[in-house]
Chains A and B, each alone.
Chain A
Amino acid sequence: MTWLDICALDDIAPLGSRVVAGPKGDIAIFRTGDDEVFALDDRCPHKGGPLSQGLIYGKRVACPLHNWQIELESGQAVAPDVGCAHRHPAKVENGRVLLALNAVRHCA
């Protein structure tokens, strides 16, 4: 797995997100309230809304278009909605946000 240096953790607001221009489309990087980071393709499984623009709480994001709730860890929509956003490994090391591009589609 190749880790890519994206930005400083402080470049993402707590409970905020940034958009990385990935090779296969935008990737949203989220920072939770306790400074964990997660990365998902920036497309809601519902109607393709940019998840990066959603409101983040706990380990979830609410899609800005129709308020679907997506789990940041798994990319899965919270029931009763069904769907999955493609996820990429992300972590924080020495105050830097690292991302690995995940080519394997884990979504069914």
Chain B
Amino acid sequence: MKKLKLVMVGNGMAGVRTLEELLKVAPDLYDITVFGAEPHPNYNRILLSPVLAGEQTFGDIVLNDLDWYADNGIRLLLGRKVVKIDRRARKVYAEDGSEAEYDRLLLATGSTPFILPIPGNRLDGVIGYRDIADTQLMMEAARTYSHAVVIGGGLLGLEAANGLKQRGMDVTVVHIADWLLERQLDRTAGKLLQGALEERGIRFRLNEQTEELLDNGDGRVCAVKFRNGEVIPADLVVMAAGIRPSTELAERAGLPCNRGILVNDTLQTYDPRIYAVGECANHRGIAYGLVAPLFEQAKVCANHLAQLGFASYRGSVTSTKLKVTGIDLFSAGDFMGGEGTETITLSDPIGGVYKKLVIKDDVLVGACLYGDTADGGWYFRQIRENANIAGIRDHLMFGESALGDVGHQGQNSAASMPDSAEVCGCNGVCKGTIVKAIQENGLFSVDEVKRHTKAASSCGSCAGLVEQILISTVGGAADVKPKSEKPVCGCTELNHGQVRQAIREHHLTSMAEAMRFMDWSTPNGCATCRPALNYYLISTWPGEAKDDPQSRLINERAHANIQKDGTYSVVPRMWGGVTTPAELRRIADVAEKYQVPMVKVTGGQRIDLLGVKKEDLPKVWKDLDMPSGHAYGKSIRTVKTCVGSEFCRFGTQNSTQLGIDLEHDLFNMWSPHKVKLAVSGCPRNCAEAGIKDIGIIGVDSGWELYVGGNGGIKTEVAEFFVKLKSAEEVREYSAAFLQLYREEAFYLERTVHYLQRVGMEHVRKAVLEDAENRKELAARLHYALSLERDPWKERLETPHLKQEFDRIPLKQLEPA
């Protein structure tokens, strides 16, 4: 099929972004021709200010180099200004006589600086601030001249003033309004900003109008004359008093324009073959001059050019940031407020911080931040989502981090993150990749995103962030639910709570029985549900339900940790982190005998032998003659201890002995996730008990118990639980707490997340306030553990379990 012809007039950010979006969804639909008036490929116009300020070079800000156009088969005609559209013949003509036919025409002509209609506005040295040529002119002027006047105290004007000042010019900003950035800031923030810029040496004349630009006699500007008659020297005048959409071409072609080419929600002009995006377009009365809305338009426009036809553009809420290094400023939405709105204000003029939030009917509608803009992205999201903030109103001013654990999964940055920012640190997946996968594959759940991008599929710490990206990409269509409401996996509709309940209430004791009873949709589950079911069965019915090795992941089946090359690591148990010369000798002998590639001290106060072949595991265990350290399991790991009162001159309690006792108490304990304990002998807390599932700190009068700490993915400090007098009590309370966790938590839920879900109050009631219940819980744990054996010894002594480790050798291969 012959390709359609797409011609684009204008080679700027909005237009090229539209082409990029189009090529993603319909790479072969069009032959594309691009006319660019400037002699450059597409560059990032937003970053002209850093170029002017000398912080970046032009090369740094090129977005699409010439190779990009060539690689995508785009005919690029640079330095050619299109002067005529013949809609009947469907052709465009450029100044130099070149022409192109189109089936679809995309107008992305951008805007031009508004040049004040005053005498002298055509003199040399009077320029707008729009493109790389203007920037170069300013840089040259700064080398030879000293006085610059910037007309307009808006974003562009201030960035120009800052850049010229950086380049050594003497700069005055003339502004017609009472304060700077009157469209982005309220008066207070505007005055703070003015103060900060004045400190940098920029002068301001507010409430001032320029009457005339004076000639030096050679056709170059030499001074600015104000309406009040005052005259100040000026060798360079930068007009930054606003932009006007470039609509001349469209108007001549008979397309309706009114401060922009009028477009509908699919970015089509009056002529349905002709689209317009970017600063030249007027959508529902607004011609956007900021980049985010242009990109949203680009996406919608591309969707229609690709003949998909389902996207629509409904306008954007915009936010603003000033790109002047060292000045933090952010505004979004209706930050001025007005009738029916309430404002919350924080003002610290000395500290240079000002924040104003505008609320209407319990919804945040605007924000204006100066000095501390860290929460800008978060406020912007609340505004865009029309989130009801009644519940968080008293914390709202202090930002997302003040909302407790809401921010802990990284949600605070999703909306404002650039596409290149890394989201998943395990698998190196950046935001752009995730957004692209969501859009291209039509993903609506975090699990789908995990499968397609691998983001959040390893340690999972970025799952919250991925969820936010999903929400910001597909909006309300995102399928997001807390784990407690999600089905366990694709094999069932039931969630973890329902599965646990069914197993308990219906006395289900085997995998097959459980799957049958709960109508599992697969014959034998999957790698997600089987380990969970196996845990629920054996923890609910100890002694009745039989452990199913085939439903355990490899580490718990091999009782060792699989490594990237398929070898294993072996960590023998050292009770409380205490060992003996004899044990150390055996470990050394084993390491030599089996040529263990690495011997390493672990974080849990024991020794790891890394790189052991699977078939050697039973021999290694036998030679070590030490029990399993369960370093591989959703189980009790270690009890870390400090030296304690036996040796330490500060020790108040025998923490080492209590650690050893606890570790014996809990030996062989399977649990929903790994469980770590620590016991310190004094408040110096050398065993780091604050980040353990149970942390115990000895004090002169007894022991303090803390629960729900976590040192891993997201550090969580354990919460104070109870203070006890004796070591015996500590052992009973610890056993009771862990049994409650074992009976109630969902598979792969750490104690901290279990506590967040059920609430500390629930656990206090069950363990602290009800002595009888506490003793029963502890007794149930002790009973369950009385049925368990050291898994290493068990495998050495049980032939069918040892079979797992035997390879079938080549010599047995005989023809049948």
| A binding-site residues for B, Cβ under 8 Å | 2-7, 11, 13-16, 18-23, 26, 33-34, 47-50, 53-58, 62, 64-67, 69, 80, 93, 96, 98
Contact = CB atoms under 8 A, between A and B. Distances in A.
Contact of B816 (A49, A57, A64, A98): A98
Interface in B788-816: 803-804, 806-810, 812-816
10 contacts: A4-B815, A13-B550, A21-B808, A21-B809, A34-B523, A53-B554, A53-B562, A54-B527, A55-B554, A80-B452
Interface of B: 441, 451-452, 457-458, 522-527, 530-531, 549-554, 557-558, 562, 564-566, 614, 803-804, 806-810, 812-816
A26 B523 contact: no
Given A16-B550, A20-B808, A65 B813 contact: no
Contact of A13 (B457, B549, B810, B813): B549
A62 B810 contact: no
A26 B553 contact: no
Contacts of A93: 816
The residue in B554, B558, B565 that gathers the most chain A C-beta atoms within 10 A of its C-beta is B554
A33 B558 CA distance: 21
B524 A57 contact: yes
Contacts of A4: 813-816
A57 B525 contact: yes
A34 B524 CA distance: 10
Contact of A6 (B530, B565, B806, B813): B813
A33 B524 contact: yes
A5 to B, nearest CB: 4
7 closest Cβ contacts across the A-B interface? A62-B527, A64-B554, A15-B550, A53-B554, A50-B566, A55-B527, A5-B816
Nearest to B562: A64
A96 B554 contact: no
B813 A20 contact: yes
Given A19-B808, A80-B452, A57 B527 contact: yes
Given A19-B808, A21-B809, A53-B562, A11 B803 contact: yes
A8 B631 CA distance: 34
A90 to B, nearest CB: 12
A33 B523 contact: yes
A104 B90 CA distance: 58
Nearest to B809: A21
B553 A64 contact: yes
B565 to A, nearest CB: 8
B385 to A, nearest CB: 30
Given A18-B807, A58-B526, 19 more contacts: A2-B815, A5-B814, A11-B803, A13-B550, A16-B549, A18-B808, A20-B808, A33-B524, A49-B566, A50-B562, A53-B558, A53-B562, A53-B614, A54-B554, A64-B553, A66-B458, A80-B451, A80-B452, A98-B816
B810 A22 contact: yes
A28 to B, nearest CB: 11
A108 to B, nearest CB: 21
A80 to B, nearest CB: 5
Given A57-B530, A58-B522, A21 B564 contact: no
Contacts of A57: 522-527, 530
Nearest to A22: B810
A98 B722 CA distance: 62
